[in-house]
Amino acid sequence: MVPLFGCHAADGSENRTGVNEPGISGTTANGEYVIDASGNRLLIPDESDIKIASVYAVAVPFIVALGLTDNVVAINYKSIFWAENSEGLARAGSVGRGLVNLEALASLSPDVLIHRANDPRTTGAVEEIGITVMSLKAESIDDINSTLDMMGSFFNVRDRAEEVKSWMSEKFDKIARIVEGIPENERPTAIMMGGELGIVAGGDMLQSWMIELAGAKCLASEIEGGNIDGSRASAWAHIGMERLFTLNPDVIFCTSSTVLDYSVEEIYNDPTLNGLEAVKSGRVFLMPAKWDSWDLPGISCAIGTMWMLHKMFPELISADEMQAEIDEYYIFMFGRTFGNDYLGYDLAS
């Protein structure tokens, strides 16, 4: 069992303040440690075969990218795609989806549970049964790089973590070079619609950051996420249809990271929505891909941002160029390509 070191700082004092920089590593008398997204210091285990469990779907692409699938004993993936294309994940069991089944977790006895950073109640409960919790947050490229640094050090795959960071940096550098040449007055306004009409990605979410990097002006950049009652259980912002019409974006992207209670076709066919600029101009787009969301926080956001750029400025990245980038992404992640019919996207639409 990996030593539990998640709830105390290196000097033995309580460390729930989150003041430590995520991804940073160091050394104490007890050994090397990393700092997770909650600011907690986790002692790096000596053994290499560290058993992993998670109910957090965002963790899956990181696990795959870092080659850790054989370490997984329980996982929550958003689609069967991940299990179909990874023997390690196909063998994994489950300890819940989003919420942790403590009894199932204890029976599998993983060394570490990878979980979201904004759930201290679950973190505390899991630590009480002697399992280390590694907290993740991936709402910006800095978050993603910190996660890769942290996981790379903790699971002793630092070289692969650096390789993934380098690959992402290369893609974002390419995007930045293209976007730099777009005049300010030619950049459209855009939002990312959530699972329901009138719910959008808040300014503190990865999707809003992707919109800006792709060359648009994100109208939700100043909107804070949260539920209608003001709680922070969700970063998606409930703005309502009246405010959506007030914002009136030139482009609407619809997330693929959650189940939608509408479709793009329904948006176009709804006469109450035909006053929106994005509807009038035919620029309402469903994010790819059906089985591997490109706007889910993680590695795929690089290809997702490039796809956004392609949809808004097809003259700058053609469909053929976009397909080449997609193929490169899947070769990098899985060592092979996949057909667009299988993944569920169409560059022609």
46, 4 Cβ separation under 8 angstroms: no
Same-fold call for 25-156 versus 168-343: yes
Q: Token pair for residue 182? A: 């777009």
At 72, the amino acid letter reads V
pLDDT exceeds cutoff 50 at 2: no
236, 202 Cβ separation under 8 angstroms: yes
- Band (pLDDT 50/70/90 cuts) for residue 4 is very low
- Sheet with 112-116, edge to edge strand ranges: 72-74, 52-54, 112-116, 132-136
| Window from 20-34, 220-234, 288-302, 323-337 with minimum mean pLDDT | 220-234
SS (H, E, C) 180-245: HCCCHHHCCEEEEECCCCCEEECCCCHHHHHHHHCCCEECCCCCCCECCCCCCCCCEEECHHHHHH
User: What are the domain boundaries of the chain?
Assistant: 25-156, 168-343
Reply yes or no on domain 168-343 having CATH 3.40.50.1980. yes
The 10s digit of each residue's pLDDT in 105-157 is 999 999 999 999 999 999 999 999 999 999 999 999 999 999 999 999 999 99
- Band (pLDDT 50/70/90 cuts) for residue 20 is low
The 10s digit of each residue's pLDDT in 184-212 is 999 999 999 999 999 999 999 999 999 99
At 271, the amino acid letter reads P
What is the pTM (predicted TM-score) of this model? 0.89
pLDDT exceeds cutoff 50 at 1: no
Give the span between the Cα atoms of 306 and 199, in whole angstroms.
23
Q: Which fold has domain 25-156?
A: Rossmann fold (3.40.50)
Q: Token pair for residue 66? A: 């870092």
Nearest to residue 238, comparing CAs of 250, 246, 229, 247?
Answer: 229
224, 234 Cβ separation under 8 angstroms: no
Map residue 332 onto helix, strand or coil: helix
113, 105 Cβ separation under 8 angstroms: yes
Return the ∠ at Cα 295 (arms to 158 and 225), rounded to 5°: 105
Q: Token pair for residue 237? A: 């912002």
Phi, psi dihedrals of residue 62, rounded to the nearest 5°: -65, -45
Q: Token pair for residue 64? A: 């795959």
